[in-house]
Amino acid sequence: MMLRQRETPDSVKAGMLSVMVHVLLLGALLISFNWKTTHPVSIAQVELWDSIPVAQPAPAPIPEPVPEPIPEPVQKVEPQPVPEPEIKPEPQLEIALEKKPVKKQPPKPDVKAEEARKKLVAEMRQEDLKNAPKETPKPNSDAIKKLQEELLNEDKAVGEQKATAAKSAASAGVVDEFKAKIQAKIRGNVNKTLCGDGNPELKVEIGLIPTGQLSGAPKLVKSSGNSACDDAVERAIRISEPLPLPSDPALFSEFRNLRLTFRPND
Amino acid sequence: MNASSDMSFFTLIAGASLPVQLVMLILVITSLFSWWYIFIKVATIKRAERDAESFEETFWTGGDLTKLYEGVTAGRRKPQGMASIFEAGFKEYIRHKQQARMEVSDVMEGSRRAMRAAYNREMDDLDAHLPFLASVGSVSPYIGLFGTVWGIMNAFRGLSNVAQATLTQVAPGIAEALVATAIGLFAAIPAVIAYNRFASSVDRLSVRYESFMEEFTNILQRKS
């Protein structure tokens, strides 16, 4: 063969060694390399965005109550003490001054306390009538009553509204506002000429991620019956990226799956 | 060629196109042979050096040359290396000596020629397979590169059919193709290292043989 005579005794051993070297190298390659690639596509599909709204509700409730309580007491408590001295005639200033502390000491009275105060007010009114019979007592007492009632109502309202109205007003208002913004932005991009003459209506479901991008293809829930019109709306949704979203991350859950109704010719 | 394709070593090889697979096969066979020759050469050169060492020791410790000659030729095995040079030279010397009319210079010339011939045979055996190793070292990277270029050409041709080109569409093809270069380099690097090492070993042995020839000629000249 290709071997010299003197090399034949070594040939078998050398051949075995040669095969062994290759097997060793192959083994080293298989062990040291991570041949299984982790494909990035699946990484993009991980529900990363899900965890953010869940993690953030803790800080989220803080901003909500903050804007509400501040304006309410400022608006409603202050204006009333101001008109009082203006409306009241001069002779009754003393009485008015006396009554005010009485009213304000029990700011959140029970029903009994209310009745007691009404009695007290009535007594005072009679005294007033006696003390100053010829001047205009009735409008004064009416005004005082109204003020009292208003104050009471406010006390109650402040307590109740703080809890419920704050949240509903803030979130519902903002969510509706941004839903309208999204719809308006998409509407602006729809090619209306493709939707014919009638008034077609179609419903589309879109998924959003917190950046305002679409998380997937828009899903047609209810077709308008005109496929060109459907396509026009879908294109408009894609063009409109990124869609406007509220800056508050807690509200994003409202936008993850949006169902929008379009009437392009409306 | 989607992103989720399995990139294991075997699927890379199995997924390659036929020319690339052929190139890989050639390279693997070449690599096996070159390693085989490397181990054979390591053994034979080591033995030749050991033989030269022991022969020089017995030769220079003195003693009768005729006895040494008988000892060398007595073995069943054909003498190798320095022993074979000594055997050829001394046999020629004795043969000429028996023809009484020969001049000294002719005797010396004859034995010298015989030693030169034995030396050439020895060198031929020592040099065996070195050209193969040199060829593997210089050519197999090119063979591997050919396979890689072919594979990448295919990968990019597939890319021209799609509208949106992404890296995931070419990456598997390029990875397949690069395996060919890797195998080529794996065959070439040991071959080059072995070639250089064996060439220097053979050079040193040949210098040793030549100086022995000169010295032995001098001894024979003194004897006659």
Q: Is it the case that residue B38 has pLDDT exceeding 80?
A: yes
User: Residue B177 domain-assigned?
Assistant: yes
Mean pLDDT (whole number) for B170-181: 84
CA distance to partner chain A, nearest, from residue B85 (Å): 16
- Residues A262 and A65: their CA atoms lie apart, in Å, by 34
Range with the poorest average pLDDT among A93-107, B53-67, B164-178: A93-107
Q: Is it the case that residue B203 has pLDDT exceeding 90?
A: yes
Tokens 């101001």 correspond to what residue? A82
3-class SS of residue A204: strand
CA distance to partner chain A, nearest, from residue B99 (Å): 35
What are the Cα distances from residue A124, in Å, to A86, A87, A117? Answer: 20, 18, 10
Q: Is this prediction's pTM over 0.80?
A: no
Beta carbons of B209 and B85 less than 8 angstroms apart: yes
pLDDT bracket for residue B41 (50, 70, 90)? very high
Residues B40, A14: C-beta atoms closer than 8 Å: yes
User: Residue B13 domain-assigned?
Assistant: no
Estimate the crossing angle of helix B18-60 against helix A8-32, to 10 degrees.
Answer: 130
Long-range contacts of A106-111 (CB under 8 A, 24+ apart): A107/A151, A107/A155, A108/A155, A108/A156, A108/A159, A109/A152
pLDDT bracket for residue A74 (50, 70, 90)? very low
Helix ranges restricted to H, chain A = 8-32, 40-45, 48-55, 71-77, 83-87, 93-104, 111-131, 137-167, 173-189, 227-239
**B14 Cβ under 8 Å from any chain A Cβ:** no
ipTM at complex level:
0.79
From B6, B33, B39, residue closest to A17, measured CB to CB: B39
Q: Is it the case that residue B60 has pLDDT exceeding 90?
A: no
Q: Which of A31, A39, A42, A45 to mutate to test the interface with B (most CBs of B within 10 A)?
A: A39
Beta carbons of B49 and B81 less than 8 angstroms apart: no
pLDDT bracket for residue A108 (50, 70, 90)? low
Residues A11, B35: C-beta atoms closer than 8 Å: no
pLDDT tens-place string over residues B108-133: 899 999 999 999 999 999 998 999 99
* HSE-up of residue A147 (Cα within 13 Å, Cβ side): 23
CA distance to partner chain A, nearest, from residue B149 (Å): 22
Count how many domains chain B has.
Answer: 1
Residues B44, A6: C-beta atoms closer than 8 Å: yes
- Residues B137 and A17: their CA atoms lie apart, in Å, by 19
The nearest alpha carbon in chain A to B8 belongs to: A35
Q: Which of A2, A8, A18, A30 to mutate to test the interface with B (most CBs of B within 10 A)?
A: A18
User: Residue B202 domain-assigned?
Assistant: yes
**For residue A208, what pLDDT is reported?**
82
Residues A19, B43: C-beta atoms closer than 8 Å: no
- Higher-confidence position of A207 and B126: B126
User: Residue B6 domain-assigned?
Assistant: no
Residues A35, B80: C-beta atoms closer than 8 Å: no
Contact residues of A toward B, CB < 8 A: 2-4, 6-7, 10-11, 13-15, 17-19, 21-22, 25, 29-30, 33, 35-37, 39-42
Range with the poorest average pLDDT among A136-140, A204-208, A223-227, B166-170: A136-140
Q: How far apart are the first and last CA of chain B?
A: 84
Cβ contacts of B43 on chain A, cutoff 8 Å: 7, 10, 13-14
**For residue B210, what pLDDT is reported?**
94
Domain span at B50: 18-223
Residues A10, B43: C-beta atoms closer than 8 Å: yes
Q: Is it the case that residue B192 has pLDDT exceeding 90?
A: yes
pLDDT bracket for residue A77 (50, 70, 90)? very low
User: Residue B54 domain-assigned?
Assistant: yes
pLDDT bracket for residue B1 (50, 70, 90)? very low
Q: Is it the case that residue A117 has pLDDT exceeding 80?
A: no
The nearest alpha carbon in chain B to A8 belongs to: B40
Residues 81-120 of B with CB under 8 A from A: none
Per-chain mean pLDDT for chain A: 71
**For residue A128, what pLDDT is reported?**
66
pLDDT bracket for residue B138 (50, 70, 90)? very high
The sign of the dihedral angle between the CA atoms of A12, A15, A16, A17 is positive
What DSSP element (H or E) covers A259?
A: strand A257-262
Cβ contacts of A3 on chain B, cutoff 8 Å: 40
**For residue A124, what pLDDT is reported?**
76
From A11, A22, A40, residue closest to B31, measured CB to CB: A22
Q: Which of B31, B40, B47 to mutate to test the interface with A (most CBs of A within 10 A)?
A: B40
Beta carbons of A195 and A229 less than 8 angstroms apart: yes
The nearest alpha carbon in chain A to B81 belongs to: A6
Residues 26-45 of B with CB under 8 A from A: 28, 31-33, 35-40, 43-44
**For residue B52, what pLDDT is reported?**
92
Mean pLDDT (whole number) for B27-52: 93
Cβ contacts of B44 on chain A, cutoff 8 Å: 6-7, 10
Mean pLDDT (whole number) for B202-223: 92
- Residues B57 and B190: their CA atoms lie apart, in Å, by 34
User: Residue B11 domain-assigned?
Assistant: no
Q: Which of A35, A38, A41, A42 to mutate to test the interface with B (most CBs of B within 10 A)?
A: A35
pLDDT bracket for residue A131 (50, 70, 90)? low
Tokens 């002779």 correspond to what residue? A91
Q: Is it the case that residue A132 has pLDDT exceeding 70?
A: no
User: Residue B12 domain-assigned?
Assistant: no
3-class SS of residue A112: helix
User: Residue B2 domain-assigned?
Assistant: no
CA distance to partner chain A, nearest, from residue B63 (Å): 29
From B12, B36, B129, residue closest to A15, measured CB to CB: B36
Mean pLDDT (whole number) for A176-189: 84
**For residue B3, what pLDDT is reported?**
40
3-class SS of residue A257: strand
